[in-house]
Amino acid sequence: MALADHSGTIAAGGTAQTLMAADATRNGFSLENVSAGDLWINDVGGTAAASQPSIKIVSGAFYETAPGQPCQSAISIYGATTAQAFTSRSW
């Protein structure tokens, strides 16, 4: 599968948004937080929030799924501030 770009910004601070729709062919993904604030992702099909079970990605941090962790459910992202930027890819 070719790389797909999912980079963007938080559309409305304090509201979760879809980072990636469910995809039965997705083998993994990465996300880099290029904003000044924390971002949170939920990669098990739930809605991301600034709490567990979402994964906190601090400013400047990079997250990548482990080999053998395909993560094919919908992925949600949350940021407290509108326009927080992130770089994301799936394969």
pLDDT at 2 over 90: no
23 located within any domain = yes
Which domain, by its residues, includes 39?
16-80
pLDDT at 3 over 90: yes
What confidence tens digit (pLDDT) does each residue in 21-63 have?
999 999 999 999 999 999 999 999 899 999 999 999 999 999 9
3 located within any domain = no
91 located within any domain = no
8 located within any domain = no
Q: What is the pLDDT of residue 1?
A: 63
Q: What is the pLDDT of residue 69?
A: 87
Structural domain tally of the chain? 1
Q: What is the pLDDT of residue 70?
A: 87
Q: What is the pLDDT of residue 27?
A: 95
DSSP for 37-89 reads: S-EEEE-SSS---SSTTSEEE-TT-EEEPPTT----S-EEEEESSTT-EEEEE
Burial class, 24, CB count within 10 angstroms (exposed 0-12 / middle 13-18 / buried 19+): exposed
6 located within any domain = no
